[in-house]
Amino acid sequence: MSKIIKKFTINYPSVGPIIFERRTRTKYLYIRVKSAQEIKVSLPYHFSLAEAQKLVENKLKWIKEKISQFQQDSFSLANQQTTLFDFFDWQKAQQILPERLKQLAQRYGFKYNKVSVRKQKNIWGSCSPKNNISLNMKLIRLPARLSDYILLHELVHTQIKNHGQKFWQKLNSLVGNAQKLEKELKKYKIERI
């Protein structure tokens, strides 16, 4: 788990105070609107505060909309965390995920046709009948073992198109305990990370 190295609080007249947290293991800058009164920006060790402030200024309209949602319906949203994936995440996902898929395919002898990275609301990944693999950009937010699990899950679908016994046997031979990883994955809600 990443540790906070330093905190900065900057007041923005239109939205109020925003807490900037520089963290040890955070790789990408992101904004979290946790409530109408709590807005946090996590930034990597190497990311400058000036760059983070510039991003926040560009996203003030989005932040105000999220605050408004909390104010309009604070009961239903009280325990939810809203995360903004900025353009840094998109670029990183485009670089990291296809390369990692290629590495795993080569290591375990899988072949696929095309790979695409998308922002999806309901699924982590999919494999078409033509072996085109689609990956959710939010995979980069998962622990590496879970991200790899999903990539291998889709690669197994290039050979086995259903979730029958043979599918799970093949996946288990690659990851050890697929059911345990599947259960752990359920703790992560796509819309919340």
Chain Cα centroid distance, residue 186:
14
Using DSSP bridges, classify how beta strands 125-127 and 133-136 pair: parallel, antiparallel or unpaired. antiparallel
pLDDT in tens, 23-36: 887 877 888 888 77
Residues 93, 163, single domain; the answer is: yes
Residues 132 and 182 in one domain: yes
User: Stretch 81-104: mean pLDDT, rounded?
Assistant: 74
Same domain (yes/no): 80, 98: no
pLDDT of 107 reads 94
* Residues 131/111, Cβ–Cβ less than 8 Å: yes
Residues 32 and 80 in one domain: yes
> Residue 128 belongs to a domain with what CATH number?
3.30.2010.10
Please give the residue range of the domain that contains residue 29.
4-84
Q: Same structural domain for residues 52 and 137?
A: no
CA distances from 134 to 32, 151, 187 (A): 26, 10, 22
Q: Which residue has the higher pLDDT, 75 or 151?
A: 151
Read off the pLDDT of each residue in 132-137 and give the average, rounded to a whole number: 94
pLDDT at 149: 95
Strand, coil or helix: 79:
coil
C-alpha span between 144 and 25 (Å, rounded): 13
Token output for 50:
């000036």
80 and 92 both lie in a single domain = no
Q: Are residues 162 and 76 in the same domain?
A: no
Domain shared by 54 and 131, yes or no: no
Whether pLDDT at 74 is above 50: no
| Beta-strand runs (E) in 66-156 | 82-84, 115-118, 125-127, 133-136
Q: Which of 19, 53, 84 is the last residue of a domain?
A: 84
11/29 same-domain check: yes
What band does 83 get if pLDDT is binned at 50, 70 and 90? very low
| pLDDT over 70 (residue 77) | no
